Structure formats: C-alpha cells, structure tokens
Amino acid sequence: MPNRILIENGTILTFGSPCRVLEGQALLIEDGVIRTLAPKGAIAGPFDKVLDATGQVVMPGLVNAHMHFYSTLVRGLGKAAPSRNFQEVLDNLWWRLDRKLGLDDVEVSAEVILADAVRKGTTTLVDHHASPFAVTGSLDRIAAAVKRAGVRACLCYEVSDRDGAAISEEGLQENAAFARRCASERDPQLRALFGLHAAFTLEDATLDRAAALGREVGTGFHVHVAEAASDVAANLERHGLTPVARLHAHGLLGPDSIAAHCVHATPADQELLAAAGTFVAHNPQSNLNNAVGIADVLGMCARGVRVGLGTDAMTVGMLEEIRVALWAQHLRQDNPSCAFMEIAGTLFARNPELATRLWGFPLGTLEEGAAADVILVDYHPPTRLDGNTVLGHLIFGLSQAAVDTTVCGGRILMERKVLVNGLDEARLAARSRELADALWDRF
C-alpha cells in the first residue's frame, strides 16, 4: 500500500472543539498517521499517491459509538409477530434471531455492514454482539471481518442470564479471551470492551463476576442502560435500584465504560453517570423506532455527562443519525431552537474522545500525529463555509453528500466511490442471501 499519501485542493474540516476549517492546506499521510498539515506546495515529495480533493471536503473518518453487526441478516424478515412494547420487540424479534445465529452468519453479517460503513465514511465502530448458541469464537470471527474490511472496531459479547447459567459463563469467558487477545496483539484495528446486555437480564452474581473479570483483563464495560421504562421498573422491583444505580453499585461504570441509550435515566442517574465519567451512547433512530422515548441529551450535557452518538444498527451513516438526533431533541424539549451545539458535539467532539480513549492514540480528528482516518466528501458549499458556519454545513448539507474516498490507518479502502480493499460486495451479498435464507427457515 502507498506509504506517503498527499491530499490537496480540498477544504479541510478538523473536527474537535472547535472544528476548524482550513483552506489552501494540504495533508500528508505517512506510516498510517497524519504527518503534516501545511500550505499547498510546502510539503516536499516524493509521494506514493496524490489524492486531488478539488470540489470536496476532507474530514476525519466518522465514529459510531454503539452498533450491532449481527442484525444485518434480519433485513426484510417478516416472520416476527407485531410488538406492542419494547419487551415484545425483544421477545418476538431480536432474542429469537440471536438464538438462531451460527458463526458463519455472525461473520458475514459483520462483513456486509462493514463494506457499507466504508461507503458511508464510518471508519471506527464500537460493536455489541449476541449469538447465545454460537458464543465461543464469535468475536474472533467478527474480528476477521473487521480485518478484511480495513476499518477499526471495538468488540464485546453481551453477557445475559436470559439463556441460562452455562451460556452466561460462556459469554463471560468470550469477553475475557478477546480482551486478552487485544492486549497481547495491540492490533491498531481492534480493541475490546466487556459486554453486558442490560441490568434487567443480569443477576447480581453475574454482575460481580463480570466486574471482577473486567478488572482482571483491564477493560471497561459496554451495556444497554435504561433503554425502556420496563428496564427501570424491573430493576426497581427486584433490586430497589435504577439500572444506573445498580450498575454503579457493582463497579461497572467509569471513564472506560459505555452506557448505551439512557433514555429513562433520571436526573440522579445522570449525576451518577457524570461523576463516574461514563460515556453515554445516544441512539435516536432506534429509540424512536422502538417507541421507547427520547433521551434527555440536554439534561445529561448540562450535568456534565459525556454524550456521544451511536446507531444501534439502524444505519452506519453517522451524518444521517445526527440529523435525527437534532429533530428528536427539538420534539422532546418542545423547542425547535434548542440543542444544536449539544447534538453537534456528540459526533464531532465526544465520539472522537471516546475512540481516542479506547485506542490510546488520537482518532476522529485531523491533526498532526493523529491516525490517518480520512474521508473525502463531494461538496460545493452554496454559502460561506468557515468556523462559524461549519456545523450547519455538516448537518444540513454534508449529511446529504456522497463520500468519494475513504482512508483508514493510511490504507485506502475506497477511491472514487469504488471499494479497493478486496471487498466484493456482489459476492458478499450473494453469500449473505444464502445464509439469510437458512437463518429465516430456522427462525
């Protein structure tokens, strides 16, 4: 692969706080990192590759803070009974699906969605996996798909007691084994968290076992938290604590942990999340689709909670998700003029902070020394594009534009809208359809 790549003639958006807009600058990638940002013509050659970004915006590869690769093969499935509430969504669809997944399904499902992530400019994804009758080796199979796609992913297995003690223990061991692999290999594409489904499907003994194993292997935790009101009610009835308070009592919150959703986190819960430094992954499209509510992003941000943006497998297009996040917050707050900066911060500031913490080197920003995860997006701004207007362009304009080129770790994965990293989308789709037909028969 080319080692020294020069990107020139584009408008560079750095992300971070503040998101800077750089005109007339070129960007040099060398040894997988951004080596130099300098005026065009000031960077000495030779170059192995020059990418001409005329008529394009150059910005960091996008980060998805909460994803489920395993859900790909459910697309179009019409066998699930209609659901009247969130628990029925789980019972009728997702828990029926994950019990039927085999390891081949797991790997192909990941590979299909990762090819789409490259097309959408999403280069870093934090996944949360479940396949209770194909647990052992599932994270290695997903990791193999990640390696082939060329992106970065932080993986975990969602431990739950809903399928019995033996499967719960197998999930604990799968998390620990993959975390040890990542610690040993230090592969720049792969990281690990310790996965838990949700407090309402986990007994106290399992939470304690997970906390101990997580400390042993040195990871934080990734868990669904207060996604639906039923999660809160179940924990209060059985344990006398909200999900946030219960997870906190078992030592599962902290700056290395992700609490996904938090739709029904109370003000006291939000204070706990902020004090622990726990990262919250907001997933607005999923929450709306499941009719569980809209998270109080404004309240969490006001209390100092670090709120980022995930998709919960509804899409891998992060700029699509951020638009829905903004509209949803307007609806929740009954205020069409609120939350712009808070929502913009989820994707353009908090997600890069999360990825940087998980990987241990700068991700999600275009700055010297950061990982060379870069996308080129077709965009001719119809109004002034500068530091004062950039967020408006991202949400109202660039979100509708096409990604032209995707680079991750200095490796070109897509160039001029053609995947160049060996992924054959037609072959993948054919294999996926074959596996999906068999899966649907089992379902």
What is the per-residue pLDDT across 72-84, written as a single tens digit (0 to 9) for each? 998 888 777 889 9
Q: Does domain 4-60+366-419 have CATH number 3.40.50.620?
A: no
C-alpha to C-alpha distance for 330 and 339, rounded to whole angstroms: 7
Quick check: do 4-60+366-419 and 62-359 share a fold?
no
Parallel, antiparallel, or unpaired for β 56-60 and 374-378?
A: antiparallel
Locate 251 and state its tokens. Answer: 């030592």
C-alpha to C-alpha distance for 202 and 212, rounded to whole angstroms: 15
Predicted confidence at residue 126, as pLDDT, reads 99
Q: What is the average pLDDT score of the chain?
A: 96
Query: Sign (positive/negative) of CA torsion 212, 94, 75, 424?
Result: positive
What is the per-residue pLDDT across 24-75, written as a single tens digit (0 to 9) for each? 999 999 999 999 999 999 999 999 999 999 999 999 999 999 999 999 998 8
Phi/psi for 272 (5° steps) reads: -65, -45
Report the top-level CATH class of 62-359: alpha beta
Please provide the size of the chain in residues: 443
C-alpha to C-alpha distance for 321 and 231, rounded to whole angstroms: 24
Start-end of H helices in 150-239: 165-185, 204-217, 229-239
Residues in CB range of 230: below 8 A, 6 or more apart: 85, 86, 87, 200
> Quick one: how many helices (H) and strands (E) in the chain?
16, 20
What pTM was estimated for this model as a whole?
0.97
* Mean pLDDT, residues 348-353 taken together: 97
Please give the span between the terminal C-alpha atoms of the chain, in angstroms, as a whole number: 43
Do 398 and 57 touch, CB atoms closer than 8 A? yes
Predicted confidence at residue 295, as pLDDT, reads 98
Name the β-bridge partners of 60: 374
* Mean pLDDT, residues 94-104 taken together: 92
Locate 92 and state its tokens. Answer: 């009728």
Predicted confidence at residue 422, as pLDDT, reads 82
219: number of Cβ within 10 Å:
26
C-alpha to C-alpha distance for 309 and 355, rounded to whole angstroms: 12
Q: Using alpha carbons, select from 310, 253, 324 the residue that is nearest to residue 282.
A: 310
Question: For residue 18, is the peptide bond before it cis, meaning its omega torsion is within 30 degrees of 0?
Answer: yes
Given 3-state DSSP classes, what are the helix, strand and coil percentages for the chain, each rounded to the nearest 5? 45, 20, 35
Task: Annotate 366-399 with DSSP letters as a single string.
Answer: -STTSB--EEEEE---SS--STTTHHHHHHHTGG
- Spell out the domain ranges in the chain: 4-60+366-419, 62-359
Given a cut of 80, is residue 217 above it in pLDDT? yes
Predicted confidence at residue 54, as pLDDT, reads 98
Predicted confidence at residue 173, as pLDDT, reads 98
- Going by the DSSP 8-state scheme, the letter that residue 73 receives in this structure is G
What is the per-residue pLDDT across 157-173, written as a single tens digit (0 to 9) for each? 999 999 999 999 999 99
With bands split at pLDDT 50, 70 and 90, how would you rate the model's confidence at 22? Answer: very high
